[in-house]
Structure 1
């Protein structure tokens, strides 16, 4: 019995890691999540193409098979996501039933349900899945799980919901005022278009949103004056929510970059003794740069303009003839290129990326200013560089002793 429970818990955790940890997860997690995203694209595409009569007549059977396969796959995924709900951090303190219930009623759970709803509706009632085209197209909302851009948009809308709601209230008030004014001015002249406030509200909405269909227009001088003010007000109405969302997006990107860069700097042992204020100052000086496998960071003989900190990955340093062309490797947390910068010399080695590499680059002038501000950093650099030199000499001695 205990072995069965252990297997059950292990399997649930394994499936949770696969479905919820991509893109940072294992290879299996990446493959599964990309496969689901691809199936979403295929499913939505077939739904759109099926609305074309000629294509439906020619490929109707294929479209239906794609739909059935998609529904089956999404149904299995939905069941698994409900089953692994207790593994979610937000639900771990709940009972299994309450955790599953919380997921089903969550926004993401509701979207997942509507992804498979056409299957259950078809099984219960209609056999024609075309009548469920709205539910099928709603699958596009499922991309929020796999698209960082859509997740960011939803987070922005959530965080700025009060400001956006205020904009909506202002828009409704402006619509009501402008519609009432046009009803009073144009109602007697154009009773079919402005005969009532609800009828005039169509013109107000179209004008305030700067769409301007032109199907309803004022004909009196006073009506045109009101329309002019309404158009100007509409520009402001449109600009307000756009500015709010754009500013929120900018702040979110800035916060994420700050957190990522902070973690990268904090992992560098050279800065381990610095305070949060000092790290924040250094972050303003560093520039992130990425390299792929085999890319050259710099070559021997090039002028030295920067030193580098390895945030992620590994580099291979090919030393010059004075070091017998030795090759050494440095991994995350190490730094290189400092000697040439401080001595204002040309590069004495060639550095290339062993795999995918993420570096933090510190310009020469900023490095000198940082050392002047934090003398302890210079001492640490000397100690680490001296330690590297001793390691190289020791390796050479071991090789010579072995050869003799």
Structure 2
């Protein structure tokens, strides 16, 4: 029996809830908690080779890939190296959940077109301020994402036989 006081969602809202559920950052949230983001999800379309953001830009938004592929690039002077290709169902710009951060990499669309949901940092912080439970769950998920990344980094380091000095990486841990 359905609780008459429980909020019901439209088909469109259920679609957004299912979409958000595919991202690790949102998977711990209830449907009601996910709905707090509905009015802040801005669908933006990008063309191939369009820059989403540059390294060292302020982290003003979280990006959720609805369609397409986006390359995350690290630059060294004039050279760019691809760190990762992000595609449908993945997020990037995750450090926008934190306060006063900068982008550690650049991002460029690598498919003919891409559709990205953009959630502005200011709106994320507003949700966090009024919903500490959402903040705690999402920051715990962010911690899991960063922990997995660190585990992968150490695995690659061990298998690469130390081609870089690990104490340079860990100086800020």
TM-score (norm 2): 0.68
Is 2:40 the counterpart of 1:279? no
* Contact 1:267–1:311 (CA under 8 A) maintained in structure 2: no
**Deviation string for 1:292-327 (max 9, x for gaps)?**
332211111222211112223332111355xx9551
* Contact 2:24–2:141 (CA under 8 A) maintained in structure 1: no
- 1:346 and 1:333 map into 2 onto residues whose CA distance is 23
Is 2:103 the counterpart of 1:353? no
1:350 positional shift: 0.4
4+ runs deviating over 6 angstroms:
none
- 2:73 and 2:96 map into 1 onto residues whose CA distance is 15
1:354 positional shift: 2.3
Q: 2:22 aligns with which of 247, 262, 267?
A: 267
* Contact 2:36–2:127 (CA under 8 A) maintained in structure 1: no
Q: 2:122 aligns with which of 365, 368, 379?
A: 365
Q: 2:91 aligns with which of 328, 335, 339?
A: 335
How many residues were matched structurally?
Answer: 146
Are residues 344 and 275 of structure 1, via their aligned partners in 2, closer, same or farther at CA, if it must alter by over 3 Å? Answer: same
* Contact 2:71–2:82 (CA under 8 A) maintained in structure 1: no
Q: Which has the higher contact order (CA 8 A, sep 6+)?
A: 2
Give the structure 1 partner of residue 6 of structure 2.
none
Give the structure 2 partner of residue 180 of structure 1.
none
* Contact 2:17–2:31 (CA under 8 A) maintained in structure 1: no
More helix, by proportion: 1
- 1:302 and 1:273 map into 2 onto residues whose CA distance is 29
- Indicate the RMSD between aligned Cα atoms, in angstroms: 2.8
SS in 1 for 2:116: strand
Please, which runs of 5 or more residues in structure 1 have no aligned partner? 1-254
More strand, by proportion: 2
Are residues 334 and 301 of structure 1, via their aligned partners in 2, closer, same or farther at CA, if it must alter by over 3 Å? Answer: same
Superposed counterparts of 1:176-187, under 5 Å: none
Please, which runs of 5 or more residues in structure 2 have no aligned partner? 1-9, 164-173
SS in 1 for 2:160: helix
Give the structure 1 partner of residue 74 of structure 2.
319
Are residues 333 and 278 of structure 1, via their aligned partners in 2, closer, same or farther at CA, if it must alter by over 3 Å? Answer: same
Q: 2:139 aligns with which of 360, 378, 382?
A: 378
Superposed counterparts of 1:3-402, under 5 Å: 258=13, 260-320=15-75, 325=81, 327-339=83-95, 342-355=98-111, 356-372=113-129, 373=131, 374=134, 375-400=136-161
